[in-house]
Amino acid sequence: MGVKRLMIVFVLIFASASAKAQVHVGVYYNGYWPQIGFGTDNEKKNFGELRLVAPDRVFRNFGAEGIFNRNFHQSDWYNIHGGIMVGYDGNASIGIPLGLTFKPITSFRGFGIFMEGTPFYYVDDVYLRASMGLRLRLGGD
């Protein structure tokens, strides 16, 4: 990586770390491949997320999914959300994620245990994916 690119990466990292906006990161697993997620504040009524498929040595294409969610119910202990997912890993997919984020630590509600079911259309059939993972809300007040 060239010096200019490295400087740009560092500037972007420091700018995002000092910003007042809240974001969330997550690590999810659905029994076959893990995903890494980056998104907007999942405590807002509407939030988005980009998930990257993180395959190891399993023969699987790298893929990405864009997800738009809406929190249907929010409380101090849990949020229930649903939305729409569009993904691509060499083939396109579209789905309807429905999930729950449980916030078990009273003194730190930014940490959540995530569970989601997603019926989705992929290639020429409909599938049901169940995911589980951890979410962490970063930044902001």
Sign of torsion, CA 117 120 123 124? positive
**Residue 25 to residue 12: CA distance in whole angstroms:** 17
Q: Give the N- to C-terminal CA distance of the chain in Å, as an integer.
A: 34
Task: Note the pTM of the prediction, 2 decimals.
Answer: 0.77
Bigger pLDDT: 132 vs 20: 132
Residue with tokens 């998930």, as numbered in its chain: 51
Condensed to tens digits (0 to 9), the pLDDT of residues 12-60 reads: 555 555 455 578 888 888 877 788 899 999 999 999 999 988 777 666 6
Task: Locate the domains of the chain by residue range.
Answer: 21-138
Provide the residue count of the chain.
141
Q: What is the CATH number of domain 21-138?
A: 2.40.160.20
pLDDT band at 126 (very low <50, low <70, confident <90, very high): very high
Pair of tokens at residue 88:
């691509």
